[in-house]
Structure 1
Amino acid sequence: MHPPVDPVIFEFGPFALRWYGLLMAIAVIVGATVASREIERRGRSSDDFWDMLIWVLVPGFLGARLYYVFIQSPRDRLGDYLSDPLSIFRVWEGGIHIFGGFIFGAIALWLYTRVRKLPTLVFLDAIALGLPLAQAIGRWGNFINQELYGPPTNLPWGLAIDYSTDPAKNRRIPPYDNIILYPESTRFHPLFLYESLWNLAGFVLLLWISRRFARQLRPGDLLLIYLIWYPLGRFFIEFLRTDSWFFPGTPFNTVHLLSAVALIIASILLYRRHQSAPSQS
């Protein structure tokens, strides 16, 4: 498996349209459309959702980028970002992290719904339904950018990663940029594909639950189920990451910790809220 196209679709002077940015835009539109329809299904106006969207997306993308730069990116790249601070905001070049988006986006959504006196949990449920589908689409931007890959593999779906002596064209990260140990024929685990498929399965599961158990679900349940499903898959995928900082002497990184915390807390809350109160239609 190899990226079939150039990351840049076309250039016009200093401006360039990239596949990464286009796929992210498509992902946002598709996910937001699913969420807006869920809002309507719950008897609310979809206009409230679309009005809210920009106020959540901007801080969400900012948080996703800042998390990647300062926590997720390899330590040897942090100096590059700090020496060129504007590069921190070049989201279109790749390098965002969903956990940062969760934190900043959730804070923005909470503030917006509080100010507009909207039901926060209903909006969070709607986003939790559309988000995994958006993630499944957006991950293919990593495929075109040749990023989010794991260690070498002999599996038939292994991903080819370009090597070049030109740093601008080289997509190999250490130690896989050693062409003697890892020749150009080497294939790598396509982690973007694993996560894309996991997210797609999560969307199907959440959609089925939202319809099959509509009378038993309470506002906030879909969010909690998402916070169980996604971190569960991400926890195990992280063991194959090659571009993360790991706690010294362990196979664990910050995402492992955050995933475990989210999964445990969400599971406890989901269990307790259905033990302590009757279901709502």
Structure 2
Amino acid sequence: MTTTLLATIPSPPQGVWHLGFLPIRAYALCIVTGIIAAIFLTRARYAARGGNPEIVMDAAGISVILGIIGGRLYHVITDYDSYFCSNCDLVQVFMVTNGGLGIMGAVTLGALGVWIMMRRRGLPFAPLADAAAPGIILAQAIGRLGNWFNQELYGRPTDVPWGLEIYRRVDETGATAPLTGRSTGEVLTVVHPTFLYELLWNLGMVVLLLWADRRFRMGHGRVFALYVAAYAAGRFWVELMRSDPANHILGFRVNTVTSTLLFIGGVLFLLLIRGKREEPEVVDPRGDGSRTEGTDSAGVDPVSGTGDTVTGDRRGGSRVSGPGPEADGPATGR
């Protein structure tokens, strides 16, 4: 007698629950959970670097809003055939709750918004970016569970023991509804769970970033650059396993090309930018996270945090003990 043991991974029977008229979407819950985890971790890490953790809350508000916009823009642009066609419903462009956020666009626009915020406050961006990197990738790992509930972004059919079952889902009328419907129990196919591969890769990156930062006291944006390079490397091989429709550039999936460019950029940054972790007086000269009075923001590189900092009692990191020829009072910030 031959016994065959099937050890496939089931998909959730549904990704949306209704409390009266209110839809509760697993995809949204995963994203929100990831954001909360990232905020807690980033607050602790930024405070350890000498920054005001309340800055993280301000940055989170900006990055979440711009991240959703950037993520949706990236997804719509790179998958434009699904939204701009003769029989497409343009309203779907704005239906973020149905899935479809490109993490590369989300991080790019979110980071740009936070960079502008930090520059306006006269604070260096790099220490905050380095503090946030492990939290960002942790949020991405948690967010990948949303793709599991949505039965999306999976790989090619497979017979490996950990293959993912994709069910047929229907709505109340019996019509096919992959995102909002409920499973009939019919297995349409068994595929590579690429969401799980990326989730595990991202969790490994959390460990790598925390270890590297602690071991080498990385600063000047190098932790963030390591995050970019490592994530891009993982996303590259995961993309090679996916079979869902995608636009191509020179015969390659768009995300494969983007991952390659991000990997090269991250590695070049690590090779070209040197320096240990910034001192607390550089991270937050006044110690309260506000715009630094007496600090000429042009004198401090908002990306690397290097340069001379004048705060009335410090000049280039050296304290001025009292009035005298060397202490000519605080400079006027602008």
- TM-score w.r.t. the length of structure 2 is 0.72
Aligned match for 1:111, one of 106, 109, 116: 116
Larger Rg, first or second structure (1 or 2): 2
* Shift in Å, 1:243: 2.4
Whole-Å separation in 2 of the counterparts to 1:102 and 1:244: 23
Q: Give the corresponding residue for 1:193.
A: 196
**SS of residue matched to 2:12:** coil
Alignment of 1:107-256 (within 5 A): 107-163=112-168, 168-170=176-178, 184=187, 186-214=189-217, 217-247=218-248, 250=251, 252-256=252-256
Check conservation: 1:72, 1:97, Cα contact below 8 A: no
Q: Give the corresponding residue for 2:313.
A: none
* Shift in Å, 1:279: 7.4
Letter paired with 1:37? A
Letter paired with 2:257? L
Alignment of 1:26-65 (within 5 A): 26-65=33-72
User: Unaligned regions of 5+ residues in structure 2, if any?
Assistant: 1-8, 180-185, 280-334
* Shift in Å, 1:72: 3.5
Q: 1:162-207: per-residue Cα shift (whole Å, max 9, x none)? A: 2368664247xxxxxxxxxxx9363101110000000000001001
Aligned match for 1:93, one of 84, 93, 98: 98
Does the C-alpha gap of structure 1 residues 37 and 280 become closer, same or farther in structure 2, counting only changes over 3 Å? closer
- Root-mean-square deviation (Å): 2.3
Whole-Å separation in 2 of the counterparts to 1:194 and 1:12: 35
| Structure with higher helix content | 1
Q: Give the corresponding residue for 2:287.
A: none
Does the C-alpha gap of structure 1 residues 86 and 272 become closer, same or farther in structure 2, counting only changes over 3 Å? same
Would you say 1:11 and 2:19 are equivalent positions?
yes
Check conservation: 1:70, 1:78, Cα contact below 8 A: no
Q: Give the corresponding residue for 1:177.
A: none
**SS of residue matched to 1:155:** coil
Whole-Å separation in 1 of the counterparts to 2:105 and 2:277: 32
Check conservation: 1:69, 1:81, Cα contact below 8 A: no
Letter paired with 2:229? I
Check conservation: 1:9, 1:16, Cα contact below 8 A: yes
Whole-Å separation in 1 of the counterparts to 2:92 and 2:208: 38
- TM-score w.r.t. the length of structure 1 is 0.85
Does the C-alpha gap of structure 1 residues 265 and 184 become closer, same or farther in structure 2, counting only changes over 3 Å? same
| Structure with higher strand content | 2
Letter paired with 1:51? D
